[in-house]
Amino acid sequence: MKTISVIIPMYNAEAFIRQSIQSVTSQTYQNLEILVVDDGSADRGPEICRELCLSDDRIQFYGREHMGVSAARNYALDIARGEYVFFLDSDDMIHPLLLEEMVVQMEKYQAVVGVCACERADTAGLELIVSGISAQDERPGWKLLEGQAVEEWFHVRECGVMGAIGGKMIRTDRIKGMRFDESLSNGEDTWFLYPLFAGQVCTVFSIRKWYYYRINPSSVMHSAAVLRGERYFEAARRIRDIEYAKGHFEYALQWQSCIAEGLEKGYFRLKKLKDRESCRKYQMMAKLEKRHPLTSRLPLEERLLFSGLFLNVLLFRMERKFFRSYKKLKRRMAMDRTGSKAGILTFHCADNFGAMLQAYGLKTYLCNNGIQTDVIRYEPPFMTGRHWMIRYDPGRWKKGIRKAAGYLRRDFRIQWKGRKTFWARRKNMLSFRETYLVDTGCPKLLFCHRLKMLSYEYYIVGSDQIWNPELTYGLRKAYFGAFQGRKKKKVISYAASLGGASLAAEYDEDFSRFIKYVDAVSVREEEAVPYVKRFYAGDVTAVSDPVFLLRKEEWRKLEILPQRQGYILVYVTQRNQDLYDYVRRLSQEKGLSVVELSVDRLTAQSRPSVDFTAGPSEFLGYMAQAEYVVSNSFHAIAFSIIYEKKFLAFTHSSRGARIENILRIHGLEDRLWGNGMAAEIDSPVDWKAVKRKTGEYAGRSGEFLINRLLD
């Protein structure tokens, strides 16, 4: 078992050091050496540490004269004997499973650095978080970072987390000779980590926030003495200049922005303290920074705020208020300023794996082919409301107030009982949506009439069941492009689905009226083509779901892998007792555990095997590491084919046509359970032939879309 050296530098931390050390001693991973280095504290902190040493021989306490946090960490690095070192600040805490999880993941991927996301809170908030911690908590998802992605996360995407030393585990043999710069009063940890991430070392990143950072106004980082230091911004300047010399202007500009923001905050605080001498020093530093070539590349807002503060504090406050109002206006106008040629109208706002993954597939395919495309943030309440804690369902209110009140009581009781998983799921869904699908600078459009403000030339409606009135509470004209647009040239339906082969007769009139707004029609199921042709004079083409437009390698970039491996993955969109009976028999026969995914606690039975927290990236991670897949979900079957998994499909009572269609296209009809009989799930599949069919069908489908956009 590998030894982890936990390094805790300490300075006047008597209020929190006991909690910090105890969060380490209570780890499920026990092979630790805990190195507490006191940097000349003048309080009772050293006494507390010596007391703790008597109760646990893994704790080693070292007292030194006050030389700074960098000197304390360097001393600990000199004496550390573990294969890994983990850094923890004296007023922070960690989850009891964190070190075990980190070692497992770093060994699995032979990673050099392990990073844990950070939960920031004041003392009261931290106490509340820690009180709810359990060693039985769900294991976190992990993101594997390699190559250029490591640098991108360090400089841009997760700069605040990646640049801080707290919550980092590093292989000891990779930092021999590396030490913290003791001359720096700020950013010494960022400068220490910079060469590692600049070298694009293999890194694992925990999405779950298991490092608990205490917002402590009296800490070193918040000290006015630190702000007065001559080299407060030295680390950021060094990194900026190196990246600028390399020609990495995007990264260098990020650091220039950090310097400008740091100067503003430091000057503003020192101004409140009436430290005129230090304020003059900041003004001199600001003059030097204005001369740097990158300052002129900063956004106008940042340049004006940067200049305004050092001219007059009152002017700065007025500018800041103006720009806050301007940002709101800018978001409203963003939809009109887009340079994108095409906009996608689909169910991206649904907390559903398939809905978001097909939107990602369609958007990415078009962008890869040189057509700048956005997913339009049309998020009407009738779509998003079904995922609220108190579900909004327009159909329920038609059944009377008494029944509606009963639904509300039941929903609230169930959701409140599982509120932790509810918010975890919402967070994972939102994270994927904002990272991969939408531009958060554009406002949400809640009602159809707002769509007329958009300025796209082409509107792509679909994929998914956008023409299924059961899901949209009647046919909705927005999903047919039946609205005015300032620059609208053409509406194209791509892989639109009715949910079945046809619609009920009561919807024929609306469908006939709305379909006339679509200039080029394609549907996802061949069985639906005859119905659509009854109302549409032009050609109607059957095309593949957008998830097949991307290769497996492109989907793997999105995965967040679970801790588990080798299980039977179950995803059910409609309860099916035959499916559960089959899974139980398969589990007993193969000796494998069962993992079930669900996005709706209201309709699913709560069992230990059910994960209610997964988002689309977690779904892909579960799919990647499953031994078998059993489902009646279209997209679970689709990704079983993409990932070449051993799978079995069960039909859906109202949406079975699409599953049968996808299996027929790929020559996998024997994978469908029917009449109580099914093919052996272990029977061999000619995946080369399946892949060839997928490529041919997706190729024809992609040509349909690109040709309609370019003609």
CB 86 within 8 A of CB 99: yes
Comparing CA positions, the residue from 622, 624, 625, 595 lying closest to residue 611 is 595
Please count the other Cβ atoms lying within 10 Å of the Cβ belonging to residue 65. 8
Residue-level pLDDT at 220:
45
- Which of these, 625, 580, 578, 624, lies nearest to 598 by C-alpha position? 580
- Token pair 């340079």 is found at 339
pLDDT along the chain (711 residues), means of 10: 94 92 94 95 93 94 92 95 95 93 92 92 80 68 86 86 93 92 87 93 90 73 54 83 89 84 75 78 78 78 66 62 58 50 91 92 90 90 80 62 62 65 84 88 84 87 89 91 86 91 92 93 91 92 92 88 86 84 90 84 58 87 92 91 92 71 87 67 89 90 88 68
pLDDT of residue 48: 95
Three-state DSSP at 110 gives: coil
Instruction: List residues bridging with 33 in a β-sheet.
Output: 5
pLDDT at 222: 45
Q: Which helix (H) or strand (E) holds 416?
A: helix 401-417
The DSSP-derived string for 597-646 is E-S-TTTS---TTEE----HHHHHHHHHT-SEEEES-HHHHHHHHHTT-E
Contact 532, 480 (CB under 8 A): no
Half-sphere exposure of 8 (CA within 13 A, CB side): 32
Rg (CA), the chain: 29
The DSSP secondary-structure symbol of 390 reads S
**What's the CA angle centered on 433, arms 633 and 706, to 5 degrees?**
75
Q: Which two tokens stand for residue 538?
A: 């032009």
Cα first-last separation, the chain: 63
The C-alpha atoms of residue 410 and residue 403 are separated, in whole angstroms, by: 11
Instruction: Note whether 672 and 649 are within 8 A (CB).
Output: yes
Instruction: Please provide the size of the chain in residues.
Output: 711
| Cα–Cα distance for residue pair 415/79, rounded to 1 Å | 51
CB contact set of 689 (below 8 Å; sequence gap of 6+)? 667
Instruction: Compute CA distances 109 → 202, 380, 613, 620, whole Å.
Output: 8, 42, 24, 18
Domains of the chain, CATH where assigned = 4-218 (3.90.550.10), 226-320 (no CATH), 337-549 (3.40.50), 552-697 (3.40.50)
- For residue 579, the model assigns a pLDDT of 87
pLDDT at 53: 95
Element (H or E) spanning 49, and its range? helix 45-55
Q: Are strands 113-121 and 168-171 parallel, antiparallel or unpaired?
A: antiparallel
Model pLDDT, residue 335: 43
Residue type, 693: K
- CA distance readout (Å), 104 to 2, 138, 142, 204: 10, 15, 11, 11
Q: Strands 458-461 and 373-375: what pairing? A: unpaired
CA distance 354 to 171: 39
In a 13 Å sphere around the CA of 22, the CA atoms on its Cβ side amount to 9
Contacts of 318 (CB under 8 A, 6+ apart): none
**What is the distance between the alpha carbons of residues 659 and 571, in angstroms, rounded to a whole number?**
14
C-beta separation of 655 from 500 below 8 A = yes
Half-sphere exposure of 114 (CA within 13 A, CB side): 30
Give the pTM: 0.57
